Structure 1
Amino acid sequence: MTNLTVHTLEKDDIDSIIEIENLCFPTPWTKESMEGELRNKFAKYVVIKNNNLVVGYGGLWLIIDEGHITNIAVHPEFRGMGIGNKILEELIKLCEKRNIPSMTLEVRISNTIAQNLYKKFGFKEAGVRKKYYGDNDEDALIMWRN
């Protein structure tokens, strides 16, 4: 995959992102929620495109001195190609450019693939949020990177 490009989220990307949300998550964000993120002054999103096709994205909220990752998703047809790595690298760069020293996120206890990605970038387990996910009451692992 040599045609990967990184972009800032734009309104034209939202339909593609919602498609990926619906393919990746049991409780996907709505189009209205994602449009709200465009207006949220704390939200920053990166979009990865392959030949102008959205193949993945990630977002975070920049709050005082921490970046809270809201979501990272890669279209199922493009997994295993390093796109998740690229998204996380870009989110980390966003924090570093703003001198934000800490990043955090919640991830499903069962999602070991995502947990391994985060660990590769220095995130460490810091706790558990019981019954965090409303679709099945699954616990969330809290991870931090300092």
Structure 2
Amino acid sequence: MDTMQEAVENEEDYRGQLADVEIRWMIRADTDAVLEIDEMSFVECWSEADLVTTCRRNNTIGMVAEHEDRVVGFIIYELHRGKLNIVRTAVHPDFSSMGVGLAMVQRLINNKLHPKRRDKIEAFVHETNVTAQVFFRALGFASEAIRGDGNGDDEYLFCYRLDGFHEWQGRI
């Protein structure tokens, strides 16, 4: 998929593989499931304290994807003036490539972006996380900058913009 529009048009293909995915607000009872998915998805996984501290920030929101009463993915994001920043997102490996991540990001685009208010989504992705890089590019995100010192711990800034205009900023 080259763009978010193609991803949205093909949503039925994904949804056919995983029926009845519900995206809802994250609640305290989801903590264990979210941490389990996080541990399976990241080399540097979060502790419960990391998750709770992050989600308690005033501008931070967590959502989970649920299938048959089972949390199968999560997304944590920050609301800022003019943009939304994805802090962390992951899908349970058993549900990978089944449209769960697409559904969560599509929810953000459809419900949180508006040309006159907040018109872009940003996500920093570690240079070694090729899976996330491919995922975001497939949804129409573009790499606009690099954060880091060039010594193996760099992150790419991926952006999705409503206007579709992307500009390379270089190292930030």
Check whether TM > 0.5.
yes
Please say if 1:113 is aligned against 2:131.
Answer: yes
Deviation string, structure 1 residues 51-97 (Cα, Å, up to 9, x no partner): 11110011110111111110110011111211111111122234226
How many residues end up aligned between the 2 structures? 143
% same residue:
22
Deviation at 1:121, TM superposition (A): 2.5
Paired residues of 2:54 and 2:60 also in contact (CA < 8 A): yes
* 1:48 is aligned to 2:65: yes
Contact 2:75/2:88, CA 8 A, preserved across alignment: yes
1:125 to 143, 162, 165: 143
2:28 aligns with one of 1, 7, 11: 11
CA distance, structure 2, for counterparts of residue 8 and residue 131 of structure 1: 36
* Structure 2 residue ranges without an equivalent (≥5): 1-17, 162-172
CA–CA distance in 1 between the matches of 2:52 and 2:128? Answer: 29
User: Please, what TM-score do these two structures have when normalized by structure 2?
Assistant: 0.75
Task: Give the alignment's TM-score, normalised by structure 1.
Answer: 0.87
Shift of 1:42: 0.5
The farther-off stretch of 92-101 and 25-34 is 92-101
What secondary structure is seen at the aligned counterpart in 2 of 1:67?
strand
Partner of residue 87, structure 2: 70
Higher relative contact order (CA closer than 8 Å, sequence separation 6+): 2
Quick check: which one's strand share is greater?
1
How far does the alpha carbon of each residue in 1:2-52 deviate from its partner, in whole angstroms, 9 at most, with x for none?
131111010011111011111111111211121223322201121001111
CA distance, structure 1, for counterparts of residue 129 and residue 57 of structure 2:
28
Which structure has the bigger radius of gyration? 2
The unaligned stretches of length 5 or more in structure 1 are none
Query: 1:139, CA displacement in angstroms?
Result: 1.7
The ranges of structure 1 where at least 4 consecutive aligned residues each deviate by more than 4 angstroms after the TM superposition are none
Q: 2:134 is paired with a residue of what secondary structure?
A: helix
Deviation at 1:119, TM superposition (A): 1.8
